[in-house]
Amino acid sequence: MDPSNSTGSDASPPPPKGGISFTPSPSEQATHINASQLAKALLLPSRQSYLAHPFHAQDLRFQAIRPFYGQATALGLLKGQVHPRLGGSASSLVEAAILVEEFYSVEQSTALTIFATGLGLTPLNIAADPVKHAEFLAPFLEAKEGSAPLASLVFSEPGGVANALEKGGKGFQTTARYDKESDEWIINGEKVWATNSAGWDFKGTDLACVVCRDVTENPDGPQDPEQDPKEKVMIILVSRADLDRNGDKSFELIRHINMPGHTAVSGPHIRYKNVRVPAKNVLCPPGQGAQVAFGSFDMSAVLVAAMGVGIMRAAFDAAIKFAKSDDRGGAVPLLERQAFADLLSGVKMTTEAARALTWKAAYVMEHGPGDYDARREIALAAKVWCSEAAVKAVVDIINAVGVTSYDIEQPFAELLNNALALPIFDGGNVGIRRRHLQQLMLSPSYDAWASTYGPSGEQ
């Protein structure tokens, strides 16, 4: 009998309507089951494929996952990241978090490539017009045989962008100038770390949401130190067709970046040179780009938190399996050793807490309570806490397992290398995410617990 059930029945009581519940809905449960099965069937073979290439050949490893990414496309995983109002089949953010956790608990590189396309499409989910921008969305809504379209939110720059919106600063160095005569925007500048930004052949991705600064009024001058930098930030859509029309010299891959983790992911250093695109490609005009770009990262913050949960879960599962089967020369399995069990139980508790925070953030972002700033704060908190907790959790697991964990035949070192990326990508915790939390707390209208109990004035 369930001791928490006051009815005396063996059946659990239904959750209260409108109340707090951690019981997945039928749809959420189905997402969990389907994602678990798909991750094993799709991601594990992709890993075997890219591991056939050398560790330092990140470009070849990335290209090796294309067939599996194509399978994901055919199965609707890209369409599932497009909002229904745009013709997609995206469900709730909670279900997206469940999917991300399942995928990341199995494999991280192919998973990130799939979800990075989702990030690349998020500005359209926020700001696109279903008719005006239909041509840009079409490749991601159609499951054509052999298709594997990539999208990228092209944001970061070689000199960093953590302070790009600071008044008096340099601003975004990727610029766009409007040419009235041709009714085109001309893009110039370098970007780096934008996943999928070079495409499969490294000549440009299928769709890039390029975050840039309007320099129409002063093409050769610096950012106006007296002006709010946000007033000049815009997002322009650049398709592969646009790059092809501009010629080979319009897009340059400067350098592939080999990373210690996520070793089959492409986030290279690229350059746009006099790329001309029609005015209809403007997704967010000057003054609206920053809000949409950071709004996209607010949504992805929840999914990075889910990535952290997935990595912690993978580390825990591998460690408990090891602890039940290995005695390190003693009389009992390692799990019966207090020191090992303490470290392991700590990771389990952290994983459960991280998942709860992730689910709350996902739910609150879409349903409240609280205004957008209150909702956003929970998403930021989930990204920061879960990503940093994932690094610590894997280190604790490594300490528990001991030197055996340093063998690359074991999963622990790879999990740590992948976990290390979470606090520093998708908006670094120190330079961007914690600064956004700080800005929220500094606001005169800051309402600390609005995302839990609603606005304090209504209580």
Catalytic residues, by residue number, are: 426
Torsion of CA 229, 221, 273, 114, to 10 degrees: -10
Residue found by looking up tokens 């106006």 in the block: 224
| Burial class of residue 11, CB neighbours in 10 A (0-12, 13-18, 19+) | exposed
Whole-number Å distance between alpha carbons of 1 and 303: 36
Closest by CA to 35, choosing from 81, 102, 114, is 102
Task: Give the other-Cβ count within 10 Å of 245's Cβ.
Answer: 13
CA–CA separation, 369 and 172 (whole Å):
34
Contact predicate 385/354, CB 8 Å:
yes
439 SS3 class: helix
SS3 452: helix
**Contact call for residues 261 and 417 (beta carbons, < 8 A):** yes
3-state secondary structure of 214: strand
In sequence order, what are the residues at sequence separation of 6 or more whose Cβ sits closer than 8 angstroms to the Cβ of residue 227? 167
Terminal-residue alpha carbon distance, the chain: 38
Name the percent of the chain in helix, strand, coil, to the closest 5: 50, 10, 40
216 within 8 A of 272, measured Cβ to Cβ: no
Interatomic CA distance for residues 457 and 62, integer angstroms? 52
